[in-house]
Structure 1
Amino acid sequence: MQIENPKRYSLGAMIFHWLIAVLVIVNWRIAESAEHLEGAAKGAVFANHKALGMLILALTLGRLAWRFAHPLPKLPNNYAPWERILARTTHVLFYLLLVGLPLGGWLASSLVERPIDFFGLFTIPVLPVGMNTDLGGTIFDFHKTAGTIMIYLIALHILGALKHTFVDKDLGIFRMLPFGGKARQ
């Protein structure tokens, strides 16, 4: 939903955005730190990665619900048509990855019959898909590749925000911050 008025995202959207962004980067670093571990140590680190992934999924679903209930600011008028397309495409890809990565990880874990321990609070059971270690391994490989794509997408997103803020001087980054310059319409 879009309306003409707001120049910034709502406070709720800002909180979801920054919380999810930090958790995604932390989760990526957790996965990277586990790559060279073996056995129980690797399993313990990946247990945290999986639990955090499920938290990211829950927050993303909350963010999507928030987004549909609250108006989005229009893109500034100074955006070129290709920038508008790139901005919208990037946001769609973010949502697909923020939902797809945790679901894919949960599916892969289910295929190797490993339930997800949610930080010792409760266990997320395996999906009723049966055991298939080959398919589980293939999905884990896709999951890793999609995670790498997510990191590149984050870098593109940051570069775009910096470009609009400091090169175009439309203060684009302040659309997602509750303070600072006045973002242009």
Structure 2
Amino acid sequence: MRAEQGRRYSGVAMLFHWVIAALVIMNWQIVERAGDLDGALRGTVMGYHKAWGIVILTLSLGRLAWRLTHRPPPFASTLKPWERALAKTVHTLFYVLLIGLPLGGWIANSYIGKPIDFFGLFTIPALPTGTNPDLGGSIFDLHETGGKILLLLIVLHVAGALKHTLIDRDGTLWRMLPFGTPRG
């Protein structure tokens, strides 16, 4: 094994990272566009948002399982203690939100009494929560707030990657890409 491979995430971890990132951005845009629609079309577009949320939940659970069974590469030795603490915090919050947001959406749908249509292939039943539209609405409000927090974390994450690439030039970005040279 080349030395740089020990400083890179595995190919599976990279695939999970980039696919989930793309789906989160896509799903954010879907819900943003749905806000401009009315009636049945809005319901159809929101149905896609919910189905993609289930895909994100499934992939995030897979990513977490992979992460728990495959040690990630160590942080670059050039990172300051505050940078390591911030990176750990942001990564933990990503997992919490990538799992919590879809679960929250599913729970909110369940309280409203709605199953989730999975791209017309099958129906994901409501959870056995009973019906409570007010509580479902409150959970949807939390879901929306959590989504905004997730977007802020994405901006912070990208800013950190850019800082390490353009200012520090420490190769940190290349740990999550199959090319480039990660450094120690």
TM-score under structure 2 length normalisation: 0.96
Q: Once superposed, what is the RMSD of the aligned Cα atoms? A: 0.9
Q: Which residue of 2 aligns with 1:122?
A: 122
Q: Which residue of 1 aligns with 2:112?
A: 112
Secondary structure at the residue paired with 1:144?
helix
1:32-111 equivalence runs, <5 A: 32-111=32-111
Secondary structure at the residue paired with 1:169?
coil
Q: Deviations over 1:111-150 (max 9, x none)?
A: 1111001111111000001110100010001100100110
Instruction: For residue 68 of structure 1, report the CA deviation from its aligned partner.
Output: 1.5
- Letter aligned with residue 64 of structure 2: L
* Structure 1 residues not aligned, in runs of 5+: none
| Cα distance in 2 for residues equivalent to 1:66 and 1:85 | 22
* Structure 2 residues not aligned, in runs of 5+: none
Q: Which residue of 1 aligns with 2:19?
A: 19
Q: Which residue of 1 aligns with 2:141?
A: 141
| Cα distance in 1 for residues equivalent to 2:70 and 2:133 | 43
Q: Which residue of 2 aligns with 1:6?
A: 6
Q: Matched residues, percent identical?
A: 59
Residues matched between the structures, number: 180
Runs of 4+ with deviation above 3 angstroms = none
| Cα distance in 1 for residues equivalent to 2:71 and 2:94 | 19
TM-score under structure 1 length normalisation: 0.95
